[in-house]
Structure 1
Amino acid sequence: NIIPLTVAITSLKDQASLDLINHLLQHVAIQLIVNTTGFASNRHQQQDKEHAYMSSEPLLYDSPFVRDVPILQVILASTVESDWQTHHYGLRSRDLAMQVVLPEMDGRIITRAISFKTMQQAYPRCEFQAVSYALQPDRAAFVAELAQRYLQLANKPNHKKRIALILANYPTKDGRIGNGVGLDTPTSCVTLLRALQAAHYPVSDLPETGDELLQRLLAVITNNPANLHYLPCWQSLALDVYWQYFQTLPQANQQAILNRWGQPENDPKYRQGRLMLAGIRLGETFVGIQPARGFERDLSANYHDPDLVPPHSYLAFYFWLRHVYQVDAIVHIGKHGNLEWLPGKSVALSAQCWADIVLGAMPHFYPFIVNDPGEGAQAKRRTQAVIIDHLMPPMTRAESYGELADLEQLVDEYYQALGLDTGREDFLREQILAQLQQSHLLEEIISPPSNNQTSNNQNQPSLADEELLNELDAYLCDIKEAQIRHGLHRLGELPNDDKLADTLVALLRLPRGTTVTSQGILHNLAQDLNLPDDFDPLAINAQTWQANRPQILQTISEQVWRTDADTRERLELFAKNLIQRFVLAKEALSELAVSLPRTYQQLHYVRDHLQPMLQDSAKREIQALIAGLSGQFVPPGA
């Protein structure tokens, strides 16, 4: 019951063409766009007009279309079909740029190449050969099926939809189930299940926590070969049904699996005439563990192996989802699974590419960490994934701990004693050098001094010893100031106030423009506190601090204030304190207007713009997925 409406235009960048499309969208019940034009047509709007010229200012996608419907990007290759068939990359660089990379900026769903150039009649007298586009029927059928499935998402009632949520498992150990990078995947999965339930999807018997979800998954078979023969399994595929599906694959693909893995009976997940599938059903919503790409070899290495064909149980898992359980969409949760790394072309996949064989023309959604667009693009281009960007985990300073903290204390005491108490100075120096040898930190700093470099006279330390202590001091400063993850992100949530304050300081450390609000927060504080103009608050500098010591920085910490790096640490602690008070606790900012005028302006920006943007971003992680599953457009960066 699909009624196609064909519209011929010059370009979506042409305003007259765009007006025509929008006129149709307003007057016709269009639910999906299949687009063959290249390049990008999107526009962006600044949320903060005052800083519109700043490249770092967050952008909001401004769709050129008046209706939020999915857009399938169809590729009309500028090469001949034989070039595509033999070219491992799928498309040449020109087509990749114009018909994949730029359209991705519009949030279009990358599909397949459906036509190629073919040579027609030649005209020798004018040295011209006519060229036309020839349809590739198999790839056109793929796009048509994908379009039909997206239309089903738009029209099928939610309570009749079956959704599969798939957790990665890399490497294939039970302790690594749901190991999305930077994401608390089990908890996020429960959050998604609650959102689906609230939207009237068939979800029931919902686990309360991520831990409970994992316990339920671990109570049945997983990818762990040690438990495959005694734990229960709630879904499986009969071998004769699997063979019927297997025999529909291209002959070369069938042979490749048989050559590498043998018969299905040899698969570790084969039991009593069936191939077992890891996962549980919560109502009619399936939560599964993505199968391993192989067995009886290095499980970590095979995850990204560009040549390893998947085993029988891998095909059975996705075949069951698509054709037996008949899910309406698949959601892979968190960076990253192994489906997008299966052998085949990089883009414009053929019917012989394994990702195409396994997933087919299935709507595919993928919550993925925002700071790795490269690997997210792999999923978009090879598995028609709609990427739902999620925030990075909360950030904080690494600080020092354990033997590093002990060394830092010894180094501080040494430099305090230097030139004042030679006996204590010698004792501390020997303590530091001995602890360096025991902890093997010398290997990370510099080579240890040779015997002839070390002085025998404790009152006359060698030059090598002094250089080593200076290197150690800088090394400890570098370690302390490093930005590290502080926990994991949870979809739809911001971290608690303490972690959020650390994250906001991390986001504000680097200058991003020329205005006061786009300067680094440490830079603004340094100017407000009249620190020297040549002081760089981002430099890892262990030189002795010889400038003024504002009272507010003296009281912010009880640690020794000895070096430039110690000044930077105090500025960061002060910045966090200000954010906790004036951004998160909403204290009156007016008291800072005179004493810290530049910081006052920046904190206004954080409270009025940056923090609300973060809150909105977390909220939209869930909203975008629910919209996509309803057959609606998901904007880029959602």
Structure 2
Amino acid sequence: MPYAEGNMEEDYGMKKKKTKTKTVVFNATGTGMISMAGAFRRIEQEYPGCMDLQARTSDDLFDSKMMERFTHHLQTADCVIVILHGGRKSFRFFDQLIEASRNALVFIQPGDEDEMSLSARYSTEYGSDFFNEMVRFIKFGGRENWTNLLRSLIKRFSGEGIPYDPPQKMPCEGIYHPRTGGVSRTLKEYLNSQGTSLRELEDKKTPVTGMWFYQGYYVDGNLGFVDSLVNEIERQGGFPIACFYNRFPDRILNNRDPVWVAENYFQVEGKTIIHVLLSCMVFSMRLTLPEFAGVYEKIGVPVLQAITLFTTRRDWKETEQGATPMDVCISAAQPEFDGILITVPVSTRDAAEQDLLTGATLLRNMPVEERIKKIVSLAGKWAMLGIKPNAEKRVAIIFHNYPPRNDRIGCAAGLDSFESVRSILNRLKKEGYSIEREYESGDDLAREILDRVTADRRWLIPERMAQKAADRIRPEQYSAWHKSLPEKNRIHMVKDWGDIPGGLFVHNNEVMVNGIINGNVYIGIQPPRGFVEQPEKIHDPHLAPGHHYIFHYRWIRDVFRADAVLHIGKHGSLEWLPGKSLALSEECYPDISIMDLPNIYPYIINDPGEGTQAKRRSYACVVDHLIPVMTNADRYEELEEVDTKILEYIQTKSMNPGRLPVLRKEIWQLAAKHNLHSDIEVSEDEAFSDFDGFVERLHSYLSEVADTAINDGLHIMGIVPEGEGLAELITQLVRLKNGDVPSLREAIARQWGYDYDKLLQYRGQPDPTGRFPTNAIVITEIHRAALETVRAVIDGQEPRMADESPEAGRIKGFISDVVLPKLGKTTEEIDATAAALSGRHVLPGGSGAPTRGMVDILPTGRNFFSVDPFKIPSPTAWTTGKALGDALIERHINETGGPPESIGMVIWGSPTMRTMGEDIAEAFYLMGVKPVWNEKNGRIEGLEVIPAGELKFPRVDVTFRTSGFFRDSFPNLMELLDEAAAMVAALKESAEKNFLRRNVLREAEELVKRGIDPEQALREASFRVFSDPPGAYGAGIPAAIDAKAWEKSEDLGEVYITWGGYAYGKGVYGEDRRETFRRRLSDISLVVKNEDSREYDLFSSDDFNAYFGGFVAAVKAVSGSYPRAYSGDASDPERVKYRSLQQETKHIFRSKILNPKWMEGLMRHGYKGAGDLSRAVDISFHWDATSDVIEDWMYDALSEKYALDEKMQKWFKEVNPYALQNITERLLEAANRGMWNVSEEMKKRLEDTYLDIEGDIEERTE
């Protein structure tokens, strides 16, 4: 109902004459204000003194004082016009605005559902002819409509007979060019206006760049950046087709939809005539207009996001953040859902002027000219991929290499990188690319790479490097390249690396280029990041890349003349170089390195975070690939031996009790021999005091290890799993429920009459049905039945359970109709790579851990997207997060008798994306707050405190160490975590109920005693969110260990503090608070990191130890003792659990590291598999360095299985002798540092092996 009632004529002066009409306009975003201000200037000329117009935006009214000063304009206004953008939430002082406007005629422009409701409630004449006319004036927009709107208000409130025209519809779509200034309504009309034709453009091979932008920019005359883009496209030899339209269908505008625009401006008779598309629009078509989500596939060319920032030029230029949280969401995260490639900013939102007549800040999208040159050049390169014949294209393929050793070339998580590149090369040759040599195997390619210059400088003297180099960069070349860099970067690089050319890969003042050239394909190695080469710089997170790094990529573009570059697998260093988080400038090192090269990046589907980093900071087109085949670890060797003896013991209890004493002794001896008693933390006395209990625990543990999913080998791009591997993978894919499709294992359990949860909970107990000896064996048989069912579906046979279970049909149908076809499309990984190199659009797809009930994200071969950051955590994640919190508290109470008071938690971006924020949800729950969701769109609107009476435990003090990527991708959550801490600290609760408040008040009091202002002291004491310094990434630990730049764990703890002691939160972005971080560490008694999938574990990469182990080492460095450390297992979100770090380490060792099944899986992949085995030994060493978790028997086992086994030695020497050299060197380092009490005999064997393999390598490299 209308806001005001009464006599309209009396209230609003409809018959009264007034000398001046007082009007107030509030426009949340400022869109249309330029037209409004221009209209008012015209009114002042036509009817001087007849109107007083005051206008403001949300930016003008950013605090309560500004709003208070504005209130008097509202109180004396005749008419108040309100234009929101996102409903009530788009203006924090909305209620005050309405209250102050009680005496005015209020008009609220209807928009979304919330705005429609507000308009109906508060617009004075809602639904009247006047109201509808106002709606059209504003909706149509432009100076002329605003002029007539103001004329109509003067007429209404002054009583003068001032004429005005009705609302005039502006062009809703059209093609624009600044030279003509007008609008072409058809493509033919536009081509004629430019004096050309499609035939002429095609004959000249002119790259045609499409562009679309909002109609509002055209109507408002806010076209500066559009003009610059169009002009730059032409300057660089392209032909622009820049069209505008309204993305959302509107019944009043009766506008055309995006598909119509594409069909009429970018296509002729269904054939696309543009080669690349620049999108200046924000949000996602898929999320906001799903009915038009296929438009980019229809157009079929690469789409580049031309970022139109909502921040000012100064804020963008001067900060490392680069973009606001809203920019991250609407200009990166959401467009990624459409498969759009994220690039650089083309405009910033700046105050063009302060309108003296209205008081309004007139905001314009001001062009960023240098960045416009960059995106146009990049777009031109993508366009040429669709024009240039394949035979003429030149492609660079880059292998990652960390650490920069010869055993680790081609490092890529879960991927056989060399076989994958071989597959790519074979496909390219078939498509006409010039490739001279074909490779019989991936190892054949690896051998050729190793025979040339690599990143490992230990094996070649400079003279030999020069002889083996793919090319040598001359001084005049690299001098010119260095001179072309921004001055800031030149100074920085010289400071860190000395004068050019630096000391790396230089001979006779020439810079060596690694790798090989095969026809028109260069296959090389990404240059070293630099920390291992300069260990003294370990404490500098902002270390510049070396001169050689920059020169290498310059050589690729300017000498080799690559048309595109492929970076193979997760992950390299380029996207992690110092610079802005998003919307990079010309001074950001990733931008300097990749330049304008189209970057195609095969990436594992289950790591959306780090893949997204490549997308946003190196402008990559991701082509995601499948995870390796996953399989159960099963029992093996010593585990099988012990478990067999346990089953004999269980059967003997009823059949031959007299034999039990002998079996007890045998079981204990076997368990002790293989250190299994250590795994379950039972001494000999404890075991024999309750041997049945010991046997149950050990049997349960062995069952859990055997039932753990591990990877069986590596994935090869484009290869569909087959045979038993296919059955194993599908069995893991349906192990958990997929949406409303039940879990296959649970369905079998129900069919057999078992409670699945009880089987898992009581693995070691006897089977209550008597069909099997124990529940553990029941689980084994259920898994075997699941495999049989999957095999039968694959073979087209009727599974045994098909007619016996009502759920079986659905599961069988799901496997045959969904899972198998999706896996069958794995071939599209190579198709998509070839498509990208041909300048075609790569389809978007989901990301995450497929085995976590996420079959829906398949197939692979997609440019994956992640999440909307403002929907984190989701309601589902909140449920799992609470379960994690309860499990953590329960474990701590069981261990110590009470809940934890101060904990440290590691937060990463990828798990946050995969789980929709389970870690964040757990953190909120532990602190005693919960998210508030918008019921309509699912976004987080804020937090609310959980009443103390509803909590199961006191509020926990949680300190966060986030990754740099999390900081960049979830700036909203950085602030929300900080807000949660502040909310909890402000609660008037006792120290016993609120540990966080207790600690904050105690520290604040101490700071005040030191002379710090009380308010500042409270803020300092409440910091809980820490990360890398702005523009930097990582924790510094891996490089410190690999460079041997440490003596004891405390040294590594200091590195962790140096890299991670920067505070974030509301009004604080990366301030150096290393001393504050130290104070937090001194209170922490428990460090926590959760894992959400068995596709990864703590030994999958060095990052896990860097952040988690580094946190443990940092606490020890400050407090003098190791904290407790818990590893959360949420691989099954309905059955979460916590293990101690020591337990999880042993679990991984038993299930994977020492498992012949895992080792043999990697051995099938030759050189690459050997490199992964070598890195497993590295990572074991890393964990011991930070956290002292590798026991002597584990080093012994690694030595026997990896280094000293004759079969393994022979294999290593054949496929990757460098891996054996590193393994023995690392094990000897552990012995020499006193980390391992090794026997003299074993140490001598290792030394002999090391000398033997070192000599072998030297012979090969001479």
TM-score by length of 1: 0.88
Listed one character per residue, the Cα deviations across residues 31-66 of structure 1 (whole Å, up to 9, x for unaligned) are: 2211111110027999xxxxxxxxxxxxx9744563
Indicate whether 1:631 and 2:839 are aligned: yes
Q: 2:749 aligns with which of 500, 504, 526?
A: 526
Residue number in structure 2 paired with 1:198: 430
Equivalent-residue separation in structure 1 for 2:756 and 2:520 (angstroms): 64
Instruction: Answer yes or no: is 1:155 the counterpart of 2:387.
Output: yes
Of 26, 29, 36, which residue of structure 1 is paired with 2:267? 26
- 2:307 is aligned to 75
Task: Name the counterpart of 1:353.
Answer: 588
Q: Is 1:603 the counterpart of 2:830 in the alignment?
A: no
- How far, CA to CA, are the matches of 1:625 and 1:347 in structure 2? 25
Alpha-carbon offset, residue 382 of structure 1 = 0.1
Q: Distance in 1 between matches of 2:678 and 2:317?
A: 51
Match of 1:431 in 2: 666
Deviations 1:187-244 (A, max 9, x none): 0100000001011111121211101000100111111112332251121211221111
The structural deviation recorded for 1:306 is: 4.4
Aligned to 2:469: 233
Residues 44, 404 of structure 1: alpha-carbon distance in 2 compared, 3 angstrom cutoff = farther
Shift of 1:534: 6.2
Amino acid at match of 1:624: A
Aligned match for 2:561, one of 326, 329, 333: 326
- 1:90: which partner in 2? 322
Q: Specify whether residues 123 and 508 from structure 1 end up closer, same or farther in structure 2 by C-alpha distance, changes over 3 A only.
A: same
Instruction: Choose 305-314 or 195-204, whichever is displaced more.
Output: 305-314
Query: Is the contact between residue 511 and residue 520 of structure 1 (CA under 8 Å) also seen in structure 2?
Result: yes
Offset at residue 169 of structure 1 (A): 0.9
Tell me which residue corresponds to 2:517. 281
**Pick aligned residue for 1:470 from 696, 707, 716:** 696
Hey, what does 1:16 align to over in structure 2? 256
Partner amino acid for 2:823?
L
Amino acid across the alignment from 1:625: T
Matched, 1:576 2:787: yes
For residues 107-256 of structure 1, the aligned pairs below 5 Å read 107-123=339-355, 126-229=358-461, 230-231=464-465, 232-256=468-492
Q: Is the 8 A contact 1:477 1:540 kept in 2?
A: no
Question: Structure 1 437/532 Cα, relative in aligned 2: closer, same or farther at 3 Å?
Answer: closer
Aligned to 2:708: 482
Three-state SS of the structure 2 residue aligned to 1:418 is: helix
8 Å contact kept, 1:541–1:565: yes
Moved more, 80-89 or 419-428: 419-428
**Offset at 1:395?**
0.6
Question: Does structure 2 retain, via aligned residues, the 8 Å contact 1:187–1:209?
Answer: yes
Percent of pairs with identical residues: 30
* Cα distance change, pair 43–120 in 1 and its aligned pair in 2 (3 A): closer
Partner Cα distance (2:521, 2:762) in 1: 51
Radius of gyration: which is bigger? 2
Deviation, 1:335, is 0.7
Q: Deviations over 1:555-583 (max 9, x none)?
A: xxxxxx32222112111112212322x23
Tell me the amino acid that sits aligned with residue 33 of structure 1.
L
Aligned position for 2:507? 271
In structure 2, the gaps of 5 or more residues are 1-236, 846-861, 863-1262
Segment drifting more, 32-41 vs 115-124: 115-124
Asked if structure 2 preserves the Cα contact closer than 8 Å seen for 1:228 and 1:269, the reply is no
Which deviations, in whole Å up to 9, do the C-alpha atoms of 1:592-611 show, x marking residues without a partner?
65345543442233223311
Find the counterpart in structure 2 of residue 563 from structure 1: 774
Change over 3 Å in CA distance of 1:125–1:257 after alignment to 2: same
CA deviations 1:51-107 (Å, max 9, x no partner) are xxxxxxxxx974456321111101111111111123222111011001110001100
**Post-superposition offset of 1:354:** 0.5
Secondary structure at the aligned position of 1:355 is classed as helix
Structure-2 separation of matches of 1:539 and 1:502: 24
Letter paired with 2:565: I
Distance 1:227 1:154 in 2: 42
Which of 372, 377, 384 is 2:607 aligned to?
372
Letter in 1 for 2:312: V
**Total equivalences in the alignment:** 597
The CA deviation at 1:140 is 1.0
Counterpart amino acid of 1:219? D
Residues in 2 aligned to 1:591 and 1:446: alpha-carbon distance in whole angstroms:
41
Larger proportion of helix: 2
Unaligned segments of structure 1, at least 5 residues: 47-59, 455-460, 550-560
Q: CA deviation at 1:137?
A: 0.8
Cα drift, residue 423 of structure 1: 4.5
How much does 1:584 deviate?
2.9
Q: Label 1:601 to 1:322 Cα distance change in 2 as closer, same or farther (>3 A).
A: same
Cα deviation, residue 401, structure 1? 1.8
- The amino acid of 2:779's aligned partner reads R
Quick one: distance in 2 between partners of 1:528 and 1:255? 71
Q: Is the 8 A contact 1:43 1:64 kept in 2?
A: no
Going from structure 1 to structure 2, the CA distance change for 1:298 and 1:541 (only over 3 Å counts) comes to farther
Shift of 1:619: 1.0
- Counterpart residue type for residue 203 of structure 1: I
Amino acid at match of 1:247: K
Q: Secondary structure at the match of 1:393?
A: coil
**For residues 260 and 499 of structure 1, what CA distance do their matches in structure 2 show?**
49
Task: Confirm or deny that 1:491 pairs with 2:727.
Answer: no
Supply the distance in 1 between the matched residues of 2:778 and 2:288 (Cα, whole angstroms).
Answer: 40
Aligned to 2:829: 621
Whole-angstrom CA distance in 2 between matches of 1:469 and 1:298: 52
Higher relative contact order, structure no. (Cα contacts within 8 Å, ≥ 6 residues apart): 1
Q: Cα gap change, 1:265/1:377 in structure 2, threshold over 3 Å: closer, same or farther? A: closer
When structure 1 is superposed on structure 2, of 492-501 and 94-103 the one drifting more is: 492-501
Whole-angstrom CA distance in 1 between matches of 2:760 and 2:827: 32
SS in 2 for 1:164: strand
SS of 2:818 mapped into structure 1: helix
Which stretch of the first structure deviates more once superposed, 531-540 or 605-614? 531-540
Inter-CA distance 61–128: structure 2 relative to 1 (3 Å threshold)? closer
Shift of 1:402: 2.6
Letter in 2 for 1:563: T
Q: Deviations over 1:134-167 (max 9, x none)?
A: 1111111111111111111111111110001111
Query: Cα gap change, 1:564/1:33 in structure 2, threshold over 3 Å: closer, same or farther?
Result: same
SS at match of 1:225: coil
Q: Secondary structure at the match of 1:5?
A: strand
Tell me the secondary structure at the aligned position of residue 90 of structure 1.
Answer: coil
Q: Which amino acid aligns with 2:241?
A: L
Distance of 1:225 and 1:535 partners within structure 2: 55
Q: Report Cα offsets for 1:245-289 as digits up to 9, x if no partner.
A: 111111121122111122345423101231111111111111111
- CA distance, structure 1, for counterparts of residue 390 and residue 322 of structure 2: 37
* Aligned residues of 1:68 and 1:633 also touching (Cα < 8 A): yes
